[in-house]
Amino acid sequence: MLKQIPGYLKDWRLHAAALLIVLLSESIGTISFELGAGMILILPMIYAFILGIAMVFTPVIKEKQFKHSEIMTTALIGLLVAKVSLNIGPAISMIVQVGPAILLQEIGNLGTVLLGLPLAILLGVKREAIGMTFSIAREGSLAIINDKFGFNSPETRGVFSIYLFGSIFGAVFFGLMASLLASFTPLNPLALAMASGVGSASMMAASSSSLSAVYPEMAAEIQSLASASMILSVATGFFVSIFIALPLAEKMYHLLTKRKPDKEEEEKREAGS
């Protein structure tokens, strides 16, 4: 009976290391401190990432654990997709009520491709640029890239790098940007509140908190609209990323680097063999 269980499920070293990392990270908790009008949040995920790297240099993690962890990560990404899907379903009626405004907001998020991808290529980034720039690189983005390109791919390395960077500095940027736009532009604070919901809870919280500090008399409306916008962005952004942003990023990458997709795939297969 035990012989029928896959090896990665019987790898006690891998599971013990993962459990230890989770317990240590959660025991530390979230650390936050203010920076100007914004706030830096250091989440347990960051500690887990650092501890995971440290484990590589111990006798606990060997080549077998590397291979098994890739399989487990791919399986767990499937659970992440299911979680995102559960968030999308209840928001369908809200999307219909809001109308085209929320869809236009998601089209605006294509700026990460139109601006970020050429800059990344200019800086010498290879196919990692596709994963780095097709979205703001939150949980749904990880699922999309992993499902299409696989865990051990440059696109996945790209989206993971921006995911970690955004987890540390994203809230700071959004908090500062919201306060600056609210203080020095004539934009309606409710429009800024709606723009806060890009699909990240921490970024939305930082942005809406800064707006509430500038407009305390509208704090309740700002918080409500920002939260609703975030839910809608998760729902619509998932589809925009799959059907528009990611194909656009791939097409732009091949045009800007003047490399044919089939030639790249052949090179990748040869490198892997």
Give residue 270's pLDDT.
Answer: 47
pLDDT along the chain (273 residues), means of 10: 63 84 86 61 73 81 75 68 61 62 70 91 92 87 86 89 81 79 85 83 79 84 79 79 91 85 52 45
Can you list the positions of beta strands (E) in the chain? 31-35, 38-42
Give residue 125's pLDDT.
Answer: 92
Give residue 85's pLDDT.
Answer: 60
As a whole number of Å, the CA-based R_g of the chain is 21
Give residue 88's pLDDT.
Answer: 56
DSSP string computed for 46-111: HHHHHHHHHHHTSTT--HHHHHHHHHHHHHHHHHHHHHHHHHHGGGHHHHHHHTHHHHHHHHHTTH
Contact 131, 163 (CB under 8 A): no
Give residue 119's pLDDT.
Answer: 94
Contact 109, 119 (CB under 8 A): no
Pairwise CA distance, residues 142 & 138, whole Å: 7
Q: What is the SS3 assignment for 30?
A: coil
The predicted-structure confidence for 50-102, as pLDDT tens digits, reads as follows 888 888 788 777 777 777 776 777 677 667 666 656 655 665 665 566 666 66
Give the number of residues written for the chain.
Answer: 273
Pairwise CA distance, residues 244 & 241, whole Å: 6
